Structure 1
């Protein structure tokens, strides 16, 4: 039902990620670059929610900063290995890439790296081969994300950097 507020308590397995929950809006445009593309600026909304299970649901929506046209979309799930600081993101992207990133939660920081990648048979080349992703809640209450990637023909290089503020 639209407008229904989630009344479920956060599953105890997710307590290390409680700081991530809610909606985040870009705090000014983020910057994207890669050796094979023209640099760009983008805005993005992140939404992290739960229904009481030991899983966080997420949706990321990016828009071109100048034209406002939709760009990248990602959705998926976040799981923690109970009793540890190990975390996994299961991500489906609108580009046809599906990935599993695994890593650790250390305080209010998440560091992830590619564990598995799959793509649709007609995905645009060059193909992504590796992704590193980091989230950090800064002391000023803003969330920062950095994404690096490697493709068939480019080594691991920073691709995205953006800072978010909590949505009001």
Structure 2
């Protein structure tokens, strides 16, 4: 999904998000939550564009030790032109669709879901809220922290944290 030389120019509205573009790899993500056992994971993230005022993204996580494919997320990050307001539209392979909105301030993005959709036969407890923060730590390091609330645990609590290194 990385932009090739033949790709259209970056839409002006996306300039505040240009630091996300590329492929990022995290080798030691940490997950925890009150209802599950703590775990580690690896994840590759790609952010790309097609010249429109949105970025497309994919998150592909794998088992820390075996490399077995795990969680997948795909979607779009759209900025409201002329503002710092943005929205994330995210589909997950576990049957969740997330619509989150928030702000970009410098090289940090904060998002909170306002809508979580789930398939009728999804596993309980149901996710009811997701909060995400993306932060550029330095030119080659991106951090993501995720807090989550479910039908069994409120308020939102820490769930995931990972630092990615830029690989392309």
TM interval, short-chain normalised: over 0.9
The aligned length equals: 165
Corresponding residue SS for 1:29: strand
C-alpha distance in structure 1 between counterparts of 2:7 and 2:134, whole Å = 26
Corresponding residue SS for 2:41: strand
Is the CA contact (8 Å cut-off) linking 1:56 and 1:79 kept in structure 2? yes
Corresponding residue SS for 1:138: strand
* CA 74–61 in structure 1, closer or farther in 2 if over 3 Å, else same: same
Per the TM alignment, residue 93 of structure 1 is displaced from its structure 2 partner at its CA by: 0.2
Corresponding residue SS for 2:82: coil
User: What are the superposed Cα offsets for residues 115-152 of structure 1, whole Å, 9 maximum, x if unpaired?
Assistant: 11111110110000011100000136310000000100
TM normalised by structure 2 equals: 0.94
Residue 69 of structure 2 is aligned to residue 88 of structure 1: no
Corresponding residue SS for 1:18: helix
Larger strand proportion of the pair: 2
Is the CA contact (8 Å cut-off) linking 1:6 and 1:51 kept in structure 2? no
Is the CA contact (8 Å cut-off) linking 1:86 and 1:102 kept in structure 2? yes
Query: What is aligned with 2:38?
Result: 39
Query: What is aligned with 1:9?
Result: 9
Indicate the RMSD between aligned Cα atoms, in angstroms.
1.4
Residue 59 of structure 2 is aligned to residue 60 of structure 1: yes
C-alpha distance in structure 2 between counterparts of 1:4 and 1:143, whole Å = 21
C-alpha distance in structure 2 between counterparts of 1:130 and 1:6, whole Å = 39
Per the TM alignment, residue 7 of structure 1 is displaced from its structure 2 partner at its CA by: 2.2
Residue 76 of structure 2 is aligned to residue 77 of structure 1: yes
C-alpha distance in structure 2 between counterparts of 1:6 and 1:118, whole Å = 36
TM normalised by structure 1 equals: 0.94
C-alpha distance in structure 1 between counterparts of 2:167 and 2:15, whole Å = 21
C-alpha distance in structure 1 between counterparts of 2:144 and 2:65, whole Å = 21
Runs of 4+ in 1 over 2 A off after TM superposition: 3-7
Query: What is aligned with 2:20?
Result: 20
Structure 1 unaligned regions, length at least 5: none
Query: What is aligned with 2:110?
Result: 111
C-alpha distance in structure 1 between counterparts of 2:146 and 2:56, whole Å = 20
